[in-house]
Amino acid sequence: GSGKFSEQVSLAGKVAAVTGANSGIGLESAKELNLRGAKVFMLCRSEQRANDARKKLIEAGCEGSHLLFSECDLSKFASVRACAERMKEAESHLDILINNAGIMFYPQFELTEDGHEMTWQSNHLGPFLLTELLLPLLKKAKDGRIICVSSALHRKVSDPLDLSKVEDKSEYGRMAPYLRSKLANVMYARDLARRLQEEGATHVTANSLHPGVVATDLHNHLPINNSVMMFFSRLIMKSEKEGAQTSLYLAMSSEVKGVSGGFFDDCARVKEHRAARDDEACKKLYEYSKEAVGL
């Protein structure tokens, strides 16, 4: 892939939902989908931040009436459930779901109000619950697309995902929980693709991707907050626009219509971690996650 998505696609009449649409790659994804005619639900924690982002998008030429805020805090199952309910009341179908929001390098071990480790819930269990609850709407689309933003760093998990350790305080470090959650994103997309296929719902696809190392808010918790460091990192990192290209490619390119269960980087399918190619492990993660979120 060229790493640049340039195909002319109209999304008129399509409905999309993007988590974390108020900043970074999420904002860029919401903008592009809207500019091509889609109605975009901005699923964000803070209404204030979403509204500020909405103003920016309208200034950039977006259609304001097609940018809708819906509160969704992935670290709270109640918030995710309420958001999914509102979506079902508002829309008859959903064409595109981009699970984009995530946290990285969370500074300490902390449990959510649901009793799960913060990074694991924000990056995996929350998006898992949201996606499962929105499946009925996605199945009503002609060409439903589920996109899970992961990271090539998921390959750094040294062993298969050990579900008995994902929320173990003694296994906590700045990096480990993030890596495990990103591996889970790839495994979940793969298992979801398999289940959709088995149900005969092949008009709905699920894929995961690596956006590139982008200079975004994800790095807020980095210990080095030195402006010189940030200046150099911005030179080697992709811009947010570049970082959103693979998400947009998976959301609308005709090249990936019907393609499901893959992991993509720079608008091309690449190999995922061997642990994510183990269908049994992916199935296990699904069963575990379903129980964890109370489905």
Using pLDDT thresholds of 50, 70 and 90, give the confidence band for residue 231. Answer: low
User: Percent of the chain at pLDDT above 70?
Assistant: 89
- Cβ atoms within 10 Å of 200's Cβ, excluding its own: 7
Structure tokens at 137: 């709407």
**Percentage of residues of the chain with pLDDT beyond 90:** 73
CA 29 – CA 84 distance, rounded (Å): 20
Question: 247-292, pLDDT tens digit by residue?
Answer: 999 999 999 999 999 999 999 999 988 888 999 999 999 999 999 9
- Residue 213 banded pLDDT, cuts 50, 70, 90: low
pTM of the model: 0.91
pLDDT exceeds cutoff 70 at 215: no
Identify the band that residue 1 occupies on the pLDDT scale cut at 50, 70 and 90. very low
Average pLDDT estimate for 185-211 = 97
pLDDT tens digits for range 81-133: 999 999 999 999 999 999 999 988 888 999 999 999 999 999 999 999 999 99
pLDDT at position 216 is 46
Band the pLDDT of 218: cuts 50, 70, 90. Answer: very low
Give the phi and the psi of residue 126 in degrees, each rounded to 5.
-65, -55
Question: What does each C-alpha distance from 295 to 135, 136, 165, 201, 288 come to in angstroms?
Answer: 13, 14, 22, 20, 10
The confidence band for 2, taking pLDDT boundaries of 50, 70 and 90, is very low
The residue that leads in pLDDT, 47 or 226, is: 47
Look at residue 236 and tell me whether its pLDDT is greater than 90. no
Token representation of residue 85: 């309910």
pLDDT at 228 > cutoff 70: no
Summary mean pLDDT of the chain: 90
Task: Report the pLDDT value the prediction gives residue 4, as an integer from 0 to 100.
Answer: 66
Other beta carbons within 10 Å of 60: 11
Per-residue pLDDT for 235 more than 80? no
Instruction: Quote the CA–CA distance of 18 and 72 in Å, as a whole number.
Output: 10
* Mean pLDDT across 157-163: 84
**Which amino acid, 166?**
V
Catalytic positions are: 178
- If one compares 70 and 231, the residue with the highest pLDDT of the two is 70
Across the range 178-201, mean pLDDT stands at 96
Please give the residue that has the higher pLDDT: either 213 or 267. Answer: 267
Q: Quick one: DSSP state of residue 152?
A: G
Helices (H), 65-169: 77-90, 118-120, 126-139
Across 134-162, average pLDDT: 92
Length, in residues, of the chain: 295
